[in-house]
Structure 1
Amino acid sequence: MNDRALARATLARQYLMERADVSALEAVSHLAGLQAQAPVPPYLALWARLKNFAAEDLSTLIDNRHVVRLVAMRGTVFALSVADAATFRGTVQSIMERDLHTNAAHRAALTGMDFEALAQAGRELVSAGPLTQMQMRPLLAECFPDRAPEGLAHGVRGLLPMVQVPPRGLWGRSGAPALTTLEDWLGTEVDLTPRPDALVLRYLAAFGPASVKDAQAWSGLTRLGEVFERLRLSLITFKSENGTELFDLPDAPRPDSGTPPVRILAPFDNILLSHADRSRILDKQYRSQVFTVNGIIKPAVLVRGKVAGFAAVSTTGESARLAATLFAQQPKTVIAAIEREGRSLLKFLHPAISTRDVSLDRLT
């Protein structure tokens, strides 16, 4: 399977071959969650993928407890459907537990710690109401006076599935991340049993075809080769251009033709972070232009299914501007498509601003 066919397959199931006519909740579930370490990116990810998406659609889901924001894959905050939250977090819990022993900033405070006692203390503290980590620190210090409070709060976040409650993550509101347990937020017991087989199948449905290393890069888990071997008879396999074995669901979409449309992705978009080998969508020589040294991942401009540049949005007074920087010269039809997409994005982000400009430049 060459890179072009591989890209089409992944773009199709990412709703990036054409915008999907599904609800925001269906999309969050199908996409196996949305990268959400900042409040705005999940909204932009859905805007790029769905027909007639309104920001209120996701805000309402968060406010009504149908979508939750919590640490999951790779130890990163994701927006997940309630149906997925416990399973996904439970399956990757080993990542958080490993971090408690290896995190350079907090390892000293947590070495020799009674983690069961710390988890119980955290549960009891937030049972009275959500707390920020800053608010947790002095309270935890009272329970464990010989430990650094910053490390204790970090430990609670790793030991328990902690939801960032609204207004954090709401469109136009947000706020500091106040936390409570997933169980308290939903008002019911949650099953955190690890289900790696189910997680791999969900990954392939959203990001396949993919290799073992790709699935590990997305999830943060190791030794997933064992899982793929258990599933092998129920999957189909391909070889990538460089000879890597790729796995996929037999009935997943793999379009044999079609030109992917121009899209402007969200910052930290999952499609850029969910494969060890990103060559299907991002050429290696451009990675440093999109992934910055300080950990920022810029909004990428997709042209014919490949990252062809990046964008930045700014506002000044009563005008909004999207500046796109392209890696190479593009045909006039592509330029026009980028301009249309840019104006549409500005309207979504700043509906009250009537002056919206799109500028394009070449990378020098």
Structure 2
Amino acid sequence: MEITTLGNRRLNRALLERQLLTRRHAVSAQAALTHLVGMQAQAPHPPYVGLWTRLADFAPSELADLLTDRRAVRLGLMRGTVHLVTDADCLALRPVVQPIYDADLYRNQLHGLGDSNVDVTELVAVGRELMAKQALTAKALGLALAERFPDEDPKALAHALRSQASLVQVPPRALWGRSGQSACTTAEHWLGRPLAAETAPDEMLLRYLAAFGPATIADMQAWSGLNRLRAAVDRLRSSLVVYRDEAGRELYDVPDAPLPPEDAPAPVRFLPEFDNILLSHADRARIISEEDRKRMFTVNGIIRASFLVDGMVAGMWRLTRAGKPVSAGSPAAAGTSGPPLVLELQPFRPIDRAAGAELTAEGARLLAFVTTHDHEIRFV
């Protein structure tokens, strides 16, 4: 049977549709987090902007309530990075990605155990006992563990516990308009339920395809951080649709997933730092050129905030006050006194008048979401 070839523009429109970026959707933040299989959340507040750009009438309090009510949590998951996920996905996904953390336990050059002979099972038991009493920062956790294991590096002990236990960051960390230290406890203690027993990635991959597909096996591995996923795809293959990209690589997809035409409309959208849409494929040409990717991704792992024009990354944006960068969701951004909050737009190349007007209008909506104080927009 002939296999359909999908060009980058068709893949772009499929990605935008599945990422809730072709229009704002009237669904809850919890439903959006479930559909998106979480949102990368290394910094505490970018997911608020990520949900604002995807959902109709989203208010920051909706996500803040999910965090304080323990219906959503932030913890290390895919790619070994912090993600914001629902409570159910925390319990279901963390066992699936455990191989990432097992590989990192001794090999991490900065905080791995290296040649240590510490009893990891005992370490985890002690750590769980400590965090059942109170949430602890990484520094406090390391020092507390070092009292029990005095010959070990406290930072390595805390890192080892993070790799072998499901540690969630607790509020007030990541609440809109507030700041707070990154204090952790175990997911089981915080949520009052055990982790799932299933460790096979099959269901997780189907959900990935629904939110990011069609995709190659290399794409699945780039998103998840897991290796050797071909066996799982082979198990699923009879239930999948198979396409090819322009390079002839097999693209897998779930049946009946949205696959809009390549000329489908794509409105201007603002994406926050670390948005998953830029991090979830081995070949990112469907959403950003390699030249622009090098501008966006810094050497210290920061993924800058960007904006889309005609579905592709076309520039970066940031918020400043009195010339100093501030983060959306921080007290500095929401402040109601002092100089105006400025949205700086930096296009990578000249944009036409219509796109400029659309960026300005959408930028004004972003500023209204972030602050009630005086604000302005500048192209730089």
- TM-score (normalizing by structure 1): 0.96
Distance apart, 1:97 and its partner CA: 1.1
Partner of 2:140: 135
Q: What amino acid is the match of 1:273?
A: L
Q: What amino acid is the match of 1:347?
A: A
Structure 2 Cα separation of the partners of residues 264 and 60 of structure 1? 24
Partner of 1:336: 357
Moved more, 324-333 or 261-270: 324-333
Counting only pairs closer than 5 Å after superposition, residues 265-280 of structure 1 correspond to structure 2 as 265-280=271-286
Contact 1:91 1:192 in 2 (8 A): no
Q: Deviations over 1:154-177 (max 9, x none)?
A: 111111001101111111113111
Distance apart, 1:232 and its partner CA: 0.6
Contact 1:68 1:163 in 2 (8 A): yes
Counting only pairs closer than 5 Å after superposition, residues 52-63 of structure 1 correspond to structure 2 as 52-63=57-68
2:278 matched to 1:262?
no
Counting only pairs closer than 5 Å after superposition, residues 60-99 of structure 1 correspond to structure 2 as 60-99=65-104
Q: What amino acid is the match of 1:40?
A: H
Partner of 2:123: 118
Which runs of no fewer than 5 residues in structure 1 stay unpaired?
none
Structure 2 Cα separation of the partners of residues 254 and 237 of structure 1? 13
Contact 1:110 1:155 in 2 (8 A): no
Contact 2:142 2:158 in 1 (8 A): yes
2:155 matched to 1:150?
yes
Question: Match of 2:317, SS?
Answer: strand
Q: Deviations over 1:100-140 (max 9, x none)?
A: 12101223466333211111011111111111111112211
When the two structures are aligned, how many residues end up with a matched partner? Answer: 359
Distance apart, 1:292 and its partner CA: 1.6
Partner of 1:209: 214
2:326 matched to 1:326?
no
Counting only pairs closer than 5 Å after superposition, residues 245-260 of structure 1 correspond to structure 2 as 245-256=250-261, 257-260=263-266
2:51 matched to 1:46?
yes
Structure 1 Cα separation of the partners of residues 113 and 159 of structure 2? 12
Change (3 A) 1:110 1:176: farther
Question: Match of 1:65, SS?
Answer: coil
Change (3 A) 1:207 1:110: farther
Structure 2 Cα separation of the partners of residues 195 and 85 of structure 1? 15
Aligned with 2:303 (options 285, 297, 300) = 297
Question: Match of 2:368, SS?
Answer: helix
2:262 matched to 1:241?
no
Question: Match of 1:151, SS?
Answer: helix
Contact 1:110 1:151 in 2 (8 A): no
Structure 1 Cα separation of the partners of residues 117 and 216 of structure 2? 37
Contact 2:173 2:182 in 1 (8 A): yes
Structure 2 Cα separation of the partners of residues 55 and 87 of structure 1? 26
Structure 2 Cα separation of the partners of residues 100 and 108 of structure 1? 6
Q: What amino acid is the match of 1:360?
A: F
Distance apart, 1:55 and its partner CA: 0.6
Partner of 2:174: 169
Aligned with 1:284 (options 290, 307, 311) = 290
Structure 2 Cα separation of the partners of residues 228 and 357 of structure 1? 49
Distance apart, 1:19 and its partner CA: 1.0
Name segments (4+ residues, structure 1) moved above 4 Å. none
2:22 matched to 1:3?
no
Question: Match of 2:315, SS?
Answer: strand
Which runs of no fewer than 5 residues in structure 2 stay unpaired?
1-5, 323-337
Contact 1:268 1:296 in 2 (8 A): yes
2:317 matched to 1:311?
yes
Partner of 2:378: 359
Q: What amino acid is the match of 1:292?
A: T
Distance apart, 1:348 and its partner CA: 1.0
Contact 1:70 1:161 in 2 (8 A): yes
Contact 1:168 1:174 in 2 (8 A): yes
Q: What amino acid is the match of 1:348?
A: F
Q: Please, what is the CA RMSD of the aligned residues?
A: 1.2
Change (3 A) 1:73 1:221: same
Contact 1:17 1:261 in 2 (8 A): yes
Contact 1:89 1:192 in 2 (8 A): no
Q: Deviations over 1:237-263 (max 9, x none)?
A: 111112221100111111124121000
Question: Match of 2:136, SS?
Answer: coil
Distance apart, 1:192 and its partner CA: 4.5
Q: Deviations over 1:249-287 (max 9, x none)?
A: 111111124121000101111000000100001011111
Structure 2 Cα separation of the partners of residues 88 and 28 of structure 1? 13
Distance apart, 1:88 and its partner CA: 1.0
